Amino acid sequence: MIQLLYEVTILKEYGFEYRWSTSGNFLTYFVINSLAFVLNGFIGGLVVVFFLQNWIRNRSYSRGLIYGMFIYIVLFFVMTCIQNYFVIDSMWDGKNSFFAAYSNGLKDYFFSYEFLRSFPFWLLILVGTLITLFLNDKYGPGVFMKFLSGRYFEPKSERRIFMFLDLKGSTAIAEKLGEQEYFRFLQKTFKDITSIFLSTRAEVYQYVGDEVVLSWNIKEGLKNFNCIRCFQEIEKLFKESEGIYENMFGVVPRFKAGLHVGKATVGEIGVLKRDIVYSGDVLNTTARIQNKCNELGVSLLISEDLKNSLSTNRLLFTSLGEIKLRGKSEATGLYTLAI
């Protein structure tokens, strides 16, 4: 709409009329175009978010761009034909057949300078949108915007919740499946649990082999018990998907996790490859907590600090006592969820 007003203003300045505009019907033309922009954006947004984005995640970035551009071209022509129908209908004087007026209107548009300007302009907008989605996928939801805003250009101290989520029996699974099949197994596993990360507002800090480190700010992590619910939903997912994984790989993924809360220093690090990096004792402690899962015979361990931050009237915990963690001078109170 801003673009339309800008162009009309420029053309008026030089004494030209905008296409299809007269002193009597500019308002009608403006309303039709505005509604068309909203409709095009809505339909294009649905296609990108609910179809194209998930589709291109399973393909290379270059192929995703090509497919995205092809879909854009089809949508552009379809939506232009629909838009022109209403424009011609509002201007049709009845002297000639409506079909002839409509056909001539389309021909005039597709062979006009306006088309040569609009088509590549919106194509570039789409390509920019897809590239932004690619970058958002690479860095994780919200992280790309943190880079653009320079939020962590200077290091900051934040109180955050961390989860170290590790695949159980990974060595035995890798030996059974072989390297390439094991990698496909990991790809599917992490792809399947991505929706859970999103629904529980988890930020993927890093993937380390068969382990993923998740993080939450305090508000999002405690809200609706997101940090706990994340692990519960993952266990539920693989319990329901046992048949699928058995048929595909002959093994079902199971995870163990350690959760802790504390202050971490966060900031941008790197020149050739820049990342947002967390450092601090909270990460080391979370990793040590997760390492105790096998020894204590549980799948989920929660530090006393995090347990005290949660509303315990809706969650039942079982105390495992004060446990000495490697590299820590003092014992740490550990809990697991009561069955």
- Dmax (CA) for the chain in angstroms is 92
In this structure, the answer to whether residues 135 and 148 fall within a common structural domain is no
What are the average pLDDT values for consecutive 10-residue runs of the chain, which has 339 residues?
75 71 62 76 76 67 77 79 73 71 79 80 80 71 68 83 94 92 93 90 89 92 92 94 93 94 87 79 93 92 90 79 83 84
**Domain boundary residue, one of 118, 139, 160:** 139
**Domain boundary residue, one of 107, 122, 139:** 139
3-state secondary structure of 58: coil
In this structure, the answer to whether residues 173 and 47 fall within a common structural domain is no
**Domain boundary residue, one of 139, 172, 196:** 139
In this structure, the answer to whether residues 230 and 297 fall within a common structural domain is yes
The residue range of the domain holding 289 is 143-337
In this structure, the answer to whether residues 66 and 196 fall within a common structural domain is no
Going through 98-196 in order, the beta strands assigned E by DSSP cover 156-167
Number of structural domains (the chain) is 2
Q: What is the pLDDT of residue 328?
A: 80
CB burial readout 195-221, b (16+ within 10 A) else e? ebbeebbbbbbeeeebbbbbbbeeebb
Question: Model-level pTM?
Answer: 0.70
Positive or negative, the CA dihedral 71, 73, 78, 82 is positive
Q: For position 228, which CATH number holds?
A: 3.30.70.1230
